């Protein structure tokens, strides 16, 4: 069965720097034989977590918006890659909203003590792609922490990141040395996946 790679574009600027990174990454994954699904989060009908705690009962979110389409994809994709720029030293509101709406997975894992990952499936891989207008050494700290926390909740293995500082105007990523190769390498990694769990012990 082909590996499925879910690519989430987190910028409202369509065809911008981070979406370009995502397209390079997904293009390489597709070339390598993966089934690629790309979604632009800003095109979806997404709403903020209401902190109603309903998901603590059964791990299900009661809000009926496009997260209901995303939940099964987030749970079942073999690999996930999020592309989002730095806004105010963190993650833009729309992708952060999507991350917050992953609270049902948190509830499943930590309140209901159920695993998110299917134990019979290979380890799932995840990656993060980002650009920041400045060259501040802390430009990616906020988003990286959020994304690593999400991978932890989704029981995914961090498989790499491409972080491009000093990339501001639309299209500037095209002049960033090494960015395309780095994004394509991650795409290949996500498409290859990992070996099945539990076969190397002993």
CA 65 to chain centre: 19
Shortest-Cβ-distance residue relative to ligand FMN: 16
Give the nearer residue to ligand FMN in terms of CB position, either 79 or 86: 86
CB 20 within 8 A of CB 176: no
Is 167 one of the binding residues for ligand FMN (CB under 6 A)? yes
Q: Which two tokens stand for residue 118?
A: 């299917």
Q: Minimum CB separation from ligand FMN for residue 142, in Å?
A: 9
Is 149 one of the binding residues for ligand FMN (CB under 6 A)? no
Closest CA to 83 of 175, 8, 163, 176: 8
Is 176 one of the binding residues for ligand FMN (CB under 6 A)? no
Closest CA to 26 of 175, 117, 162, 153: 162
Is 143 one of the binding residues for ligand FMN (CB under 6 A)? no
Closest CA to 75 of 106, 40, 96: 106
Please tell me the distance from the alpha carbon of residue 190 to that of residue 126, in angstroms, as a whole number: 7
Give the nearer residue to ligand FMN in terms of CB position, either 46 or 61: 46
Is 4 one of the binding residues for ligand FMN (CB under 6 A)? no
User: Per CB under 6 A, which region of 30-38, 116-124, 162-170, 178-186 contacts ligand FMN?
Assistant: 162-170
Is 139 one of the binding residues for ligand FMN (CB under 6 A)? yes
């Amino acid at each position: 069965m082909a590996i499925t790679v879910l690519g989430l574009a987190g910028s409202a600027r369509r065809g911008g720097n981070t979406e370009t990174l995502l397209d390079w990454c997904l293009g390489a994954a597709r070339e390598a034989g993966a089934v690629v699904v790309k979604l632009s989060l800003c095109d979806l009908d997404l709403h903020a977590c209401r902190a109603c705690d309903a998901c603590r009962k059964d791990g299900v979110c009661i809000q009926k918006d496009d997260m209901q389409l995303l939940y099964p994809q987030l749970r079942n994709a073999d690999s996930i890659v999020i592309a989002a720029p730095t806004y105010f030293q963190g993650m833009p509101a729309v992708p952060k909203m999507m991350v917050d709406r992953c609270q049902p997975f948190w509830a499943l894992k930590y309140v209901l003590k159920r695993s998110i990952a299917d134990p019979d499936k290979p380890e799932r891989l995840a990656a993060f792609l980002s650009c920041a207008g400045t060259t501040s050494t802390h430009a990616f700290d906020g988003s990286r922490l959020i994304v690593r926390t999400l991978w932890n909740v989704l029981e995914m293995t961090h498989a790499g990141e491409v972080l491009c500082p000093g990339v501001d105007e639309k299209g500037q990523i095209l002049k960033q040395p090494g960015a395309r190769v780095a994004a394509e390498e991650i795409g290949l990694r996500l498409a290859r996946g990992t070996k099945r769990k539990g076969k190397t012990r002993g």
